[in-house]
Copies of this chain bind each other. A is one copy, B any other.
Amino acid sequence: MSELTASVAQLIECLTRLPGIGRKSAERIAYHLLRVSKEEAFALADAIRAVKENVHHCKICFNLSEQETCHICRDATRDQTLLCVVEQPQDLMAIEQTGAYHGLYHVLLGRLAPLDGVGPEQLTIRELVERVRNGTFREVIMATNPTVEGDGTALFISNQLADTGVKLTRLARGITPGSVIQFANKEILTDALTGRQVL
C-alpha cells in the first residue's frame, strides 16, 4: 500500500507474524504505537530485546529462567521425589497456578510430531531419561496434552522409563467442572467412564 510510510508498513508486517494478530489488528496496534509516547513504545521494544537476551532454559528442567537453573529446581523445599513432565513452560505455569503440585518438573519443549519432523532428539527426552535414571524420583507424572501427539509422546517416554522401576502416572481425564454431559463428546465420556471413581 503506497499510502503507508515504509516504517509503518514494516511494523505492520512484523506484527502480523505474531500469533493471533491479523492484518487489521496489526494496523490498530501500529497506529496505537504511533500515538503513544516514545517512552511507552520504546519500553515495548526494550522488553522484547530483554526477553531474548536474558531468558534461557534451566539446564536441569528446561523451564524458562534468567539464571542457570530455574527457581523451582533451586527450591529445596519442593518434593524431590516427584517429577511432572510437561510439553511447554506455559503448561508448567498453569500447573503451578493450581497450587496443587509441589514436586519438580521436566519441560520437553514440544511433543513428538513425526509429520512435522519433530522426533525424540528435538525434545529433551534424553535428558529426562538420564535425570530419572540418576535421580531419586519415586513417581513421574506425564502431563502432556490430551491430544494424539501428546498421548504418543507420553507413551514413548513411558516405554523409555519402563525399566527404571519408577511409578508412571498421567493426569486424570473425565468430564470438566461446569460442563454439560449432553454436550460432552464421545472421547470425553469414554475417558470419564473408563476412569470412573468410587464415591
From B17, B31, B51, A7 is in contact (CB under 8 Å) with B51
Does A161 reach chain B (CB closer than 8 Å)?
Answer: no
- Of A36-44, A77-85, A147-155, which stretch is located at the interface? A36-44
Does A191 reach chain B (CB closer than 8 Å)?
Answer: no
Do the beta carbons of A90 and B31 come within 8 Å of each other? yes
Q: Which residues of B contact A163 (CB under 8 A)?
A: none
Which A residues fall within an 8 A CB radius of B?
1-8, 10-11, 13-15, 17-21, 25, 27-34, 38, 40-52, 54-55, 64-66, 71, 88-90, 92-93, 96-97
A55 to B197, CA, bound (A): 63
Q: Which residues of B contact A48 (CB under 8 A)?
A: 11, 33, 41-42, 44-45, 48
Between A and B, 8 residue pairs with Cβ closer than 8 Å are A2-B71, A4-B64, A4-B93, A7-B50, A13-B47, A14-B43, A19-B29, A34-B51
**Most chain B beta-carbon contacts within 10 A, residue among A2, A3, A64:** A3
Q: A45-B48, A46-B45 are in contact. Are A54 and B90 (CB under 8 A)?
A: no
**Most chain B beta-carbon contacts within 10 A, residue among A7, A42, A46:** A7
A151 to B90, CA, bound (A): 47
